[in-house]
Amino acid sequence: MGQFSYPLAQFHREAFWRGEIPFWNPFNNCGLPFLAQWNTLALYPGSLIYLLLPLSWSLNLYVFAHVFLAAAGMYFLARRWTNNAFAASVAGLAFAWNGLTLHSLMWTNNIASLGWMPWVILAMERAWREGGRRIVFAALIGAMQVLSAGPEIILLTWLIAGLLWLRDLLKGDLPRVQSLLRFALGGVLVCALCAVQLLPFLDLLRHSQRDTSFGGAVWAMPLWGWANFLVPLFGCTPSVVGVYSQDAQQWTSSYYMGIGVVAFALLAFRGKDRRVLWFSGIAIAGLVLSLGDGAFVYTALKKLFPLLGFIRFPIKCVVLVAFALPLLAAFGVATVREKNDSQAHARSPLATALIVVLGLTAVAVIFGWLVPVADTSPMATTKSGVTRMIFLAVTIGAMIWLSKQVEWPRQRLAMCAVLALMALDVLTHMPRQNPTVPNRAYGPLPSDMSSVPKLGEARAMISPPMQRMLESAATPDPFTLFTGYRRMLLSDCNMIDHVPKVNGFFSLYLREADQVNRQIYRSTNYDVPLLDFLGVAQISDAQQLFSWHARSNAMLLVSAGQTPVFSGPKETFEAIFAPTFEPRRIVYLPPEAQPALSGVQSNACRVISVVAERQRVSAEVEAAAVSLVVISQAFYHPWKAYVNGRPVRLWKANYAYGAVSVPAGRHKIELRYEDRLFRVGGLISMAALLSCGPCIFIGRRTRESTSG
């Protein structure tokens, strides 16, 4: 939360109150797109919660509002399918209150995407079944999830929707062509509504470091990871802060759903609803795919569908399990309640589920004791398993007690007891899943630098040895840990204090700028003249925390008068890292720029002033002859250059940055971020949104006239 979600929310909020659309982040990676990142939530309507209200508490309100949204959506979905309010309550609680959802509290985009997930399934099912304005409602809800910016969760949501539509199609309940058109129309309308976000994102993706071979299979669920659905600490080790997680993957600290939920899910197979088989298949698919290369299926799918290579971490497929298991539990509880209504007892199936799950849990505990995984503690595994077994026994006992009650007040008390036990089970399954800090951790901190870099003037840089040290450094006190991260500008903490720096922590980076950064942080001899060009005025000590050293040779964001050298990408990349590189005297440009810049003179231009804003850079220069002005900001094509208000070509310079040519005389140079695809997407989204109103109105009038 502190290293990513909070800094981005603060940046977004500052732009909102300045009346700006946050296209560009100039504080990290020598500049990179902000809105196009998508998971920055720049266009998500739910962000208004923390944009309008004080950030010190509204970000907490935002994440818990989406937890409630998830619970309500799953409740209504399960109630539609089971026609049982208590079973639906079990599903709603299980989906919104589990290890994965609680872990997602720190990721503002993931918790929002999870919150909308059941609503999308519910709305789309009604759309392909009923048509009419239901398609519009489904598209609006689907658009909310797409704008919430959890790409993998969104993809898995629509995969589930597609499978459920296929199930209905195979049953023969619906006209095939009509239901297909309704489903397709809903998807197309969602894309149209979100075009304002999707087009900039796809454009950034095309220019980013990701390609079809990017994902790999790192951070997969270990082969023994299924045991964590019964024994949450099985094979997990604690960090210094006390958060347990699997060493094999760090995407989520837990995906424990509650041991009672597993037992209730087993009861679903006693019913006759065919959806049980489909959701069982979805859950099994999630379990297998989460194993990554360990089950070979994930690797085979990547070969069949290369686009999956853009997605990182197979463990994210566990979302399928997190969605399917609560619904299976709802079907199981509904089955027991139906038996209870007709037979006045439901002890036999509950006792069977208790015995089966207790047996499996006991096996996991014994295995964890006899064959410890990695550096895990057998005692911690045993304690975790035994505690869950007790919760299971008490929960099943409460269900049996519920089956014996005839009077409604006692039934309601028993239902509340079951739900409370489920919630307490998840709440206590890990000693410290979400460490917290007081608000003052995000307040002003004294600087350890002799001079804090300002936007347009200089940048800070964490030295490569210190970066590696910080990635493994920790302390048991979260406040000390986080304020230490802030003082060292780790990840995106620099955005909180508005300190520009060389690197950052984001999903997508501009390809060439990212290659430069990676090379800097791979090098043993990293303090090269390139850092002068990047404006590094403060660099951290290699070993001593909170120690920064001033660099006197740092250049401003805008410089001028360099001699152009025309060379290809490979030669340029090698040249800028050479110790002989002289960025004040030489600038490397692509060969295609040579005809247009053949008349450029050296040492014939000086920079008079520079004003750097978040989405605009302006400078006054004076040139004795045709000259080059070089900007050490990451090159990206939506940036447009103007000289005295007239557009000029912005050239890629020094492999990943920018340069413009100016004629003789005194000139004002401006760089403005002008995203054409954002405008095109905005027009498409506005047209789609405006069309939704009449569709809803016409659908309502048609329904009224038909009923009349």
Contact 165, 123 (CB under 8 A): no
User: In this structure, what are the phi and psi dihedrals at residue 33, rounded to the nearest 5 degrees?
Assistant: -60, 145
Positive/negative CA dihedral, 282, 284, 289, 290: positive
Token duo for residue 384: 């975790």
Q: Are strands 616-623 and 651-653 parallel, antiparallel or unpaired?
A: unpaired
Is residue 23 within 8 A of residue 675, CB to CB? The reply is yes
Amino acid identity for residue 443 in this structure:
G
Amino acid at 307: L
Q: Is 429 helix (H, G, I), strand (E, B) or coil?
A: coil
Q: 563-566 and 586-589 as β-strands: parallel, antiparallel, unpaired?
A: parallel
**Through-space distance between the first and last CA atoms of the chain, rounded to whole angstroms:** 54
* CA–CA distance, 56 with 65 (Å, rounded to integer): 16
Closest CA to 311 of 296, 290, 283: 290
How many whole angstroms separate alpha carbon 157 and alpha carbon 113? Answer: 9
Among 278, 77, 285, which residue's Cα sits nearest to residue 170?
278
* Residue type for position 421: L
User: Quick one: the chain helix, strand, coil %, rounded to 5?
Assistant: 55, 10, 30
Please, is 117 exposed, middle or buried when counting C-beta atoms within 10 Å of its C-beta (0-12, 13-18, 19+)? buried
CA angle 374, 422, 315 (to 5 degrees): 40
Q: CB of 189 within 8 A of CB of 353?
A: no
CB 142 within 8 A of CB 186: yes
Question: What are the CA-CA distances from residue 436 to residues 2, 6, 482 (Å)?
Answer: 10, 13, 10
CB 402 within 8 A of CB 420: no
Domain borders along the chain are 211-256+272-435, 439-550, 558-674
User: Which pair of tokens denotes residue 695?
Assistant: 């569709």
Per-residue pLDDT of 284-300, as tens digits, reads: 999 999 998 877 888 78
User: Which tokens sit at 670?
Assistant: 């401006």
Closest CA to 469 of 484, 456, 458, 459: 484
Intervals of the chain under pLDDT 50: 341-344, 701-702, 704-708
- Looking at the DSSP bridge assignments, the partners of residue 620 are 609, 668
**What's the Cα-to-Cα distance from 497 to each of 24, 61, 493, rounded to whole Å?**
17, 23, 7
d(CA 114, CA 270): 29
For every residue of 639-658, DSSP letters joined together read: EEEEETTEEE--EEETTTEE
Q: How far is CA 308 from the centre of its chain?
A: 16
Q: How far is CA 418 from CA 383, 393, 421, 561, in A?
A: 22, 11, 5, 75
- Record the tokens describing residue 512, joined without a space: 């060439």
| CA–CA separation, 308 and 320 (whole Å) | 16
- State which H helix or E strand residue 684 sits in: helix 676-707
Element of type H or E holding 635: none
**Three-state secondary-structure class, residue 570:** helix
Question: CA 587, 592, 598 angle in degrees (round to 5)?
Answer: 65
Task: Classify domain 558-674 at the CATH class level.
Answer: mainly beta
Q: For 8-37, give one letter per residue: b (16+ CB within 10 A) or e.
A: bbbbbbbbbeeeebbbbbbbbbbbbbbbbb
Reported as half-sphere exposure (CB side, CA atoms, 13 A), residue 444 has a value of 1
- Residue found under tokens 């070979």: 296
Let me know: does 448 contact 536? Beta carbons within 8 Å: no
* 505: its two tokens: 């922590």
CA distance 367 to 371: 6
| CA–CA separation, 338 and 277 (whole Å) | 19
Q: How far from 164 is each of 36, 76, 324, 503, 583, CA to CA, in Å?
A: 31, 17, 12, 43, 59
In Å, how far are 30, 452, 473 from 650, measured between CA atoms?
17, 30, 42
Distance between CA atoms of residues 219 and 209, nearest Å: 19
Partners of residue 589 on adjacent β-strands: 566
Q: Which long-range contacts (CB under 8 A, 24 or more apart) does 491-494 make?
A: 491/3, 491/4, 491/7, 492/3, 492/4, 492/7, 492/8, 492/28, 493/2, 493/3, 493/7, 494/7, 494/27, 494/28, 494/460
Q: What is the spatial distance between Cα 233 and Cα 242, in angstroms, rounded to a whole number?
A: 12
Burial of 591 (0-12, 13-18, 19+ CB in 10 A): exposed
CB 128 within 8 A of CB 168: yes
> Are β-strands 548-550 and 563-566 bridged in parallel, bridged antiparallel, or unpaired?
unpaired
Tokens in use for 624? 């004795």
Q: What would the two tokens of residue 1 be?
A: 């939360």
Residue of 289, 60, 43 whose CA lies nearest to 145: 43
Give the residues across from 355 on adjacent strands: none
pLDDT of residue 33: 97
